[in-house]
Amino acid sequence: MSSRQKILIVDDDPGVRKYLEISLGRMQRHTRSARTLGEARRWLGREGFDLCLSDLHLPDGSALELLEHIRSQQLPMQLAVLSACRRQETAIHTLKAGAIDFLGKPVDLTRLRELLNRARHTPTQSGASSLLGDSTPMRELRGQITKLARSQVPVYISGESGSGKELAARALHDQGSRAGQAFVPVNCGAIPSELMESEFFGHRKGSFSGAVEDKPGLFQAAHGGTLFLDEVADLPLAMQVKLLRALQEKAVRCIGGQQEVAVDVRILCATHKPLLAEVQAGRFRQDLYYRLNVVELNVPPLRARKSDIEPLAAAILERLAQGDEQRLARLQPGALLALQSYDFPGNVRELENLLERAHTLCENRQIEAGDLRLTPNSLLPAIAPDSSQAIDLERYLEQIERQLILQALEHTRWNRTAAAQRLSLSFRSMRYRLKKLGLD
């Protein structure tokens, strides 16, 4: 599978489409083009995209209607709006509606390149919500979210990469009093340090080289709603000082502006790094830590809720089928057991990637264990020679045992007697091990 971004261009002006096709091609991106909202919807029904660049006004609709279509179909992509209108109110309105950015026409290529890099690293809402599942950890998480959604306190969402921290943040927003306002996510680690102040607080035209138009910041876009700071530990110390002041004063001043502007936002933040350890190491300000970490919400890793893998996998495969029953792939028992035996260091995001690949490679819409391309080594926890981390030997050996039994069962087409003989086990011992490992 190619790692190059795939961009859908939607504009009724053939000159704009051609300019963007050539420019994006030179930037090593794949493109498709549409003239109308209807054509764009048809492309989205046929192919997957990472980003959509759409003119604000289309012959049969608008970019905001296209954004609503993307949301209703739960497509894992983002949208940026193009417009010759440079009014700040228009830009803020589109950002509040959920657009990732607002670009004036003619499109500045430096801004476009920045947008592509940001879109590559900004998480999108997955069609298969990682908050699915009926395991005890997930029931507890949803209960905590329901309680915290009633308040306006800042929440620090902790958890491993790919576990669903942004989805937890969205749930907090959607269940709270700000649900009708904007939810603005930003990946702090994906913004170049020299552009951070402009991205967060905005700038005035001419305030620095390259500022060819007024640009509202993320705080203005989130006014009345929620600003989600993902990977907040990656903020440089200089930016941490400015963020702390904005939170304390509840006001921001854009670059080139003369006055501060009041903003009303609820702050949610997340990082996969242990934030307190970052404070102790001097990489994160203690005063900002206490400002952000009023309440901590921990999202459990996928390996702590293995019973949720089956409903998650079903939801992911339904999304990949895009509503077409003929394209819906089925997870076979051996494949499900292989997934349940895997530790998923990349959590739900890794599960999605595995199933997307298997969905493409499988025969007759039947996903077997082999289609997952999980090697025996990938099913075992990694041990670094110089690691000081403690190893759970019993759990490690159990993983090896599970994988060898699964391989034997796959080889014998799930004939337990033959699999036991292959492993030099008695049938009684085989039954005991299957029950112990939850494979019966």
- Run of H or E residues at 261: strand 261-262
Lowest mean pLDDT among 97-101, 157-161, 343-347: 97-101
Residue with tokens 């109308």: 36
Q: Which residue has the higher pLDDT, 383 or 411?
A: 411
The confidence band for 55, taking pLDDT boundaries of 50, 70 and 90, is very high
Instruction: Quote the tokens at residue 269.
Output: 């933040």
Pair 311, 133: CB distance under 8 Å: yes
Question: Model pTM?
Answer: 0.64
**Cis status, amide bond into 185, omega within 30 of 0:** no
Q: What's residue 193's pLDDT?
A: 83
Helix, strand, coil shares of the chain, percent, nearest 5, are 50, 15, 35
Pairing between strand 366-367 and 330-331?
A: parallel
Q: What's residue 125's pLDDT?
A: 46
Write the CB contacts of 252 (distance below 8 Å, at least 6 apart in sequence): 200, 201, 202, 217, 219, 220, 246, 260, 261, 263
Q: What's residue 86's pLDDT?
A: 66
Pair 100, 119: CB distance under 8 Å: yes
The confidence band for 46, taking pLDDT boundaries of 50, 70 and 90, is confident
CA 137 to centroid of chain Cα atoms:
20
Write the CB contacts of 24 (distance below 8 Å, at least 6 apart in sequence): 7, 9, 31, 112
Q: What's residue 20's pLDDT?
A: 94
Phi then psi dihedrals of residue 241, to 5 deg: -60, -45
Lowest mean pLDDT among 54-63, 132-141, 388-397, 414-423: 388-397
Other beta carbons less than 10 A from residue 360's beta carbon: 11
Does the pLDDT of residue 76 top 70, yes or no? Answer: yes
Classify burial at 174, counting beta carbons within 10 Å of its beta carbon; exposed 0-12, middle 13-18, buried 19 or more: middle
Q: In order of start, what are the domains of the chain with their CATH numbers?
A: 1-121 (3.40.50.2300), 126-300 (3.40.50.300), 304-374 (1.10.8.60), 393-440 (1.10.10.60)
What is residue 367's three-state secondary structure?
strand
Q: Which of 1-5, 167-171, 414-418 has the highest average model confidence (pLDDT)? A: 167-171
164-205 pLDDT per residue, tens:
999 999 999 989 888 888 888 888 887 888 888 988 998 888
Does the pLDDT of residue 345 top 50, yes or no? Answer: yes
Q: What's residue 1's pLDDT?
A: 35
The confidence band for 22, taking pLDDT boundaries of 50, 70 and 90, is very high
Does the pLDDT of residue 219 top 50, yes or no? Answer: yes
Does the pLDDT of residue 370 top 70, yes or no? Answer: yes
The confidence band for 334, taking pLDDT boundaries of 50, 70 and 90, is confident
Single-letter residue type at 181: Q
Q: Average pLDDT, stretch 306-325?
A: 86
Residue with tokens 């391989």: 407
Closest C-alpha to 267, from 291, 242, 240: 291
CA atoms of 434 and 98, how far apart (whole Å): 49
The confidence band for 88, taking pLDDT boundaries of 50, 70 and 90, is low
Q: Average pLDDT, stretch 358-381?
A: 77
DSSP track, 231-251: TGGGS-HHHHHHHHHHHHHTE
Q: Average pLDDT, stretch 133-143?
A: 91
Closest C-alpha to 125, from 161, 168, 180, 175: 168
Closest C-alpha to 213, from 375, 101, 378: 101
The confidence band for 403, taking pLDDT boundaries of 50, 70 and 90, is confident
The partner residues of 162 in beta bridges, in order of sequence, read none
Q: What's residue 436's pLDDT?
A: 77
Q: Which residue has the higher pLDDT, 113 or 98?
A: 113
Other beta carbons less than 10 A from residue 231's beta carbon: 21
How far CA 289 is from CA of 183, 276, 280, 356, 386, in Å, comes to: 22, 8, 11, 38, 31
Does the pLDDT of residue 377 top 50, yes or no? Answer: no
Lowest mean pLDDT among 74-88, 230-244, 251-265, 335-349: 74-88
Single-letter residue type at 297: L
